[in-house]
Structure 1
Amino acid sequence: MKNAEALIKKEVEFLSQYEIATAQIENNSEYWSSYTLSHGYPGIILFLNEYQKNFRINLDELIHKYILRIGEELERRIEGYSLFSGISGIAFSIDIVSDNSTHYQTILQKLDNYLIDFINRKMASINIEANPKKCDVVQGLAGVGRYLLNRVWANPKVVTSLIDIMKYFRDLHYSKNHWIISKENQFLNIDKERYSSGNINLGLAHGILGPFSLLALSKLKGIELNNHISLLSDITDYLFKSEFQNECGWLDRYDIAEMYYPSYAIRNGWCYGDTGVMNTIWLLGMAQKDEELIEKAKNIMIKIIRLNNDNLISPTFCHGLASHFTILNNVNRYFNIEEVNNYLNLILDKILSYYSSENQFMFHDIEIVNSQTRFKNKVGLLEGQIGILLSLLDYQNSQSNALEKSWKNMFLIS
């Protein structure tokens, strides 16, 4: 862990040179988007905040400089309300660094009011249909709802909006087409051809796991609908449908026509894979106080670590080792299984092996596109350096509570 700590401290030293750091990042980080939680300054303030908590060093003044930089973006007007690329993401990051809601309350109240107004308008016109842009963690209501859940004690006005989101998910679940994403609502043209009758997305980033996790987390934190436990029981049964699984585990997407089955192994990262399924099942078990369900989550975790997981070729969070590492660590803090702890040490070493002083931002985001391996220089939390360093910081913090307010909430794993 010493090597990891050295990298973390090196990045804090770099970010402390505010003018130099902002210039280098904005000019050289690929896919940089200053105001977004996924690819911008909100991720940086979360990293600095996590560092000051872990090492008990006051970085409030430095964090404030980066918040002012985000404020400049707000003054230009932000398009969208989503968690990963809109107002919810900015508010989420500022709320996390607000020192238990003692700072930045004026701006947070203002952003909350924007979101309340947005949800009121959305609910007045929204159709009951599964559409990732409306429902998921990244762009949709699951992500917005997770921010609101963090705000219910500081600003009780948001509770009604959170309840409205959960009611929408309940109504969607019990609707005729439930979580089926139609051909027209597929992201990609190739998926419109592939899933002519539609599909059910079983991932955490864009699929059913986001809404299911929000419903479980809300129950754990005391915000619930009428018959909430019954709803949690029904969505649990739904998740365990046999057609959603094969001999390897859960599919990433289930083809309604049952004509297309992926030939590839699903990567056990954040977007898709049994890691996200396992974390969601654990949350559902905790929310229902169902020991049998919690035990199932444990067994899935053990199954995951006994695979080689060699298709996780990038150290980054979205689809790589950092999320694999963080999700397993998140749940194993509850179980404390020695075999998992030993596996996590191996993954830590593997992540660190991707570091090079020659890399512009310590690590590359690595993807294979058309059989070509591509290396990207990214800083942002979702696909870049900051997400990796946050996962290392989280591992270092043995006192972290899986259900506390933290940067990990943005991924609906806590």
Structure 2
Amino acid sequence: MNTLNTVDILAAVDELAEPLSDPHTLYPHGGVGRTRPQSLLGGAAGLALLHLERARSGRGSWDTARAWLTAAAREEVSTGRNATLFYGAPALGFLTRSVADEPHRCPPVLAALDSKTIALTRARLTLAHARLDRGELPLLSEFDLFRGLAGLGAYHLRHHRRHAITRAVLNYLVRLTEPLPSTSDGLPGWWTEVSPNGEITADFPGGHGNIGLSHGIAGPLALLSLALLRGVAVDGQRDALERICSWLDTWQQPGPWWPGVITRTNVETGQIAPSQRQAPRWCYGTAGLARALQLAGIATGDTARQRTAEAAMLGLLREPDQLDRVTDTGLCHGLAGIGQTAWRMAADADTGEITGELPHLCRRLLARLSPPPSDPELLDGTAGIALALHTLGTHQAPHTGWDTCLLLA
């Protein structure tokens, strides 16, 4: 990117971030549901990540960041069934670690949040292994990034990779990839009997295999790969990576691209309909899966797989018809998510071709920001867009490591 582009991008970040400065204005009553303070998805915790990233890079105010940190911690911390990487103790632990690289900056708080997160992770692992022992298929919420053990594993790998709990999560994910003895129809161990919304519906008779990075097997694939790249390995980890990748190879379409979900009909016919091609989003589309496959290729030394993944990202960036299908601007469903994913892939790619496509993607995203989004949140709103543009404008990996919560790094 040339200097003018960089200036334009960072000016846009400033314009997006300024109206998000005061938590009392945006969340005068603290928020409800996904906008509750301790939610990274849509609450004060997610907004705090934006202001921490700006403060740590020298482009924002530490006073603003502290105000949002205080707002995020204004209620009792959840350690219940709703506690995930994006909510409760894990979310606040993730946020607190983002204040600085040195844990001694706030040791009592971190120790308490880590302890709570380790305890709830152990409880989830106990339930997951009991389910496996019974030979039952999982719910997506057991293993996915947003609600499950892939998300909690991302927390532990980032914050204390040598701790036994990190290896325990990896051991579970290895076991998840093994076929269940109770299934004789070739379905993978992560096949679920429910639909993508978590319910049994007529639209998905026999359930589905979820490929997405947010709710599907791409999340465990990315985590297992990142762990291997960071020197954290357990027995069977490479075999697990191979099982996942082999299954994804089965459903790879010319382009390449992959459907977001595999149905029973797909399994029975071995065919994917063109209508199953989803918009190339981070959450379910080719963008997120391409990053997971790139990480797997790098981690296992499979350069062919790495190059296939990079070709998939390059293809969607160069195909206007595909980008035109992305009507949102946020991280989860929109152009910001593609931008952050593409930047991470470009940083690890064999060639500079993906980097060469980033200016066009930035221009496309900036053009969509007039008028600016009305939703301030991290996942689907302004905060996430500003964070992705911050990465693209500074040409630097996030100081806070915020995109760990997207399993991009």
Q: TM-score range by the shorter chain?
A: 0.7 to 0.9
The one-letter code sitting in structure 2 at the alignment partner of 1:134 is E
Q: Residues 101-120 of structure 1 correspond to what in structure 2 (within 5 A)? A: 101-120=103-122
Q: Residues 6-45 of structure 1 correspond to what in structure 2 (within 5 A)? A: 6-17=11-22, 19-23=24-28, 32-45=35-48
Give the whole-Å Cα distance in 2 for the aligned partners of 1:118 and 1:209.
23
Aligned to 1:399: 396
Give the whole-Å Cα distance in 2 for the aligned partners of 1:99 and 1:171.
33
The one-letter code sitting in structure 1 at the alignment partner of 2:43 is G
Matched, 1:199 2:208: yes
Q: Residue 314 of structure 1 contacts residue 321 of structure 1 at CA under 8 Å; is this kept in 2?
A: yes
Aligned to 1:84: 86
Out of 193, 202, 210, the residue aligned to residue 219 of structure 2 is 210
The one-letter code sitting in structure 2 at the alignment partner of 1:5 is L
Q: Residues 99 and 64 from structure 1, CA distance in 2 versus in 1: closer, same or farther, beyond 3 angstroms?
A: farther
TM score, norm. by length of structure 1? 0.84
Give the whole-Å Cα distance in 2 for the aligned partners of 1:118 and 1:288.
31
Out of 295, 304, 309, the residue aligned to residue 297 of structure 1 is 309
What's the CA shift string for 1:325-366, capped at 9, x where partnerless? Answer: 11111111223755433422112111111223xx5xx22xxx
Give the whole-Å Cα distance in 1 for the aligned partners of 2:78 and 2:314.
48
Q: Residue 186 of structure 1 contacts residue 192 of structure 1 at CA under 8 Å; is this kept in 2?
A: no
What's the CA shift string for 1:183-205, capped at 9, x where partnerless? Answer: 3465255x621221121001101
Q: Residue 179 of structure 1 contacts residue 200 of structure 1 at CA under 8 Å; is this kept in 2?
A: no
Aligned to 2:170: 166
Out of 4, 12, 15, the residue aligned to residue 9 of structure 2 is 4
SS in 2 for 1:102: helix
Give the whole-Å Cα distance in 2 for the aligned partners of 1:186 and 1:310.
24
Note the C-alpha offset of 1:298: 2.3
The one-letter code sitting in structure 2 at the alignment partner of 1:9 is D
Aligned to 1:74: 76
Percentage of pairs with the same residue: 22
What's the CA shift string for 1:277-315, capped at 9, x where partnerless? Answer: 211111111211232222222222222223222100111
Farther off after superposition, 174-183 or 116-125: 174-183
Note the C-alpha offset of 1:270: 0.9
Give the whole-Å Cα distance in 1 for the aligned partners of 2:211 and 2:230.
24
Q: Residues 214-363 of structure 1 correspond to what in structure 2 (within 5 A)? A: 214-241=223-250, 243=251, 245=253, 249-258=257-266, 261=273, 263=275, 265-308=277-320, 309-335=323-349, 337-356=351-370, 359=371, 362-363=372-373
Matched, 1:136 2:152: no
Aligned to 1:369: none
Give the whole-Å Cα distance in 2 for the aligned partners of 1:93 and 1:393.
18
Q: Residue 35 of structure 1 contacts residue 42 of structure 1 at CA under 8 Å; is this kept in 2?
A: yes
Give the whole-Å Cα distance in 1 for the aligned partners of 2:8 and 2:298.
35
Q: Residues 193 and 387 from structure 1, CA distance in 2 versus in 1: closer, same or farther, beyond 3 angstroms?
A: same
What's the CA shift string for 1:23-50, capped at 9, x where partnerless? Answer: 3x968x9963322011111222211122
Q: Residue 195 of structure 1 contacts residue 257 of structure 1 at CA under 8 Å; is this kept in 2?
A: no
TM score, norm. by length of structure 2? 0.85
Q: Residue 79 of structure 1 contacts residue 86 of structure 1 at CA under 8 Å; is this kept in 2?
A: no
Q: Residues 56 and 306 from structure 1, CA distance in 2 versus in 1: closer, same or farther, beyond 3 angstroms?
A: closer
Note the C-alpha offset of 1:79: 5.9
Q: Residue 81 of structure 1 contacts residue 144 of structure 1 at CA under 8 Å; is this kept in 2?
A: no
Q: Residues 106 and 310 from structure 1, CA distance in 2 versus in 1: closer, same or farther, beyond 3 angstroms?
A: same
The one-letter code sitting in structure 2 at the alignment partner of 1:268 is P
The one-letter code sitting in structure 2 at the alignment partner of 1:165 is V
Give the whole-Å Cα distance in 2 for the aligned partners of 1:76 and 1:273.
31
Farther off after superposition, 59-68 or 326-335: 59-68
What's the CA shift string for 1:137-178, capped at 9, x where partnerless? Answer: 01111011101111116xx5xx22222211111112113253
What's the CA shift string for 1:88-133, capped at 9, x where partnerless? Answer: 1221121122333232221121111112221222223321233211
Q: Residue 78 of structure 2 contacts residue 89 of structure 2 at CA under 8 Å; is this kept in 1?
A: no
Q: Residues 73 and 297 from structure 1, CA distance in 2 versus in 1: closer, same or farther, beyond 3 angstroms?
A: same
- Structure 1 gaps of 5+ residues are 364-376
Note the C-alpha offset of 1:78: 6.8
The one-letter code sitting in structure 2 at the alignment partner of 1:178 is P
Give the whole-Å Cα distance in 1 for the aligned partners of 2:264 and 2:77.
45
Farther off after superposition, 278-287 or 103-112: 103-112
Q: Residue 259 of structure 2 contacts residue 277 of structure 2 at CA under 8 Å; is this kept in 1?
A: no
Q: Residues 183 and 174 from structure 1, CA distance in 2 versus in 1: closer, same or farther, beyond 3 angstroms?
A: closer
Matched, 1:410 2:405: yes
Q: Residue 32 of structure 1 contacts residue 378 of structure 1 at CA under 8 Å; is this kept in 2?
A: no
Aligned to 2:386: 389
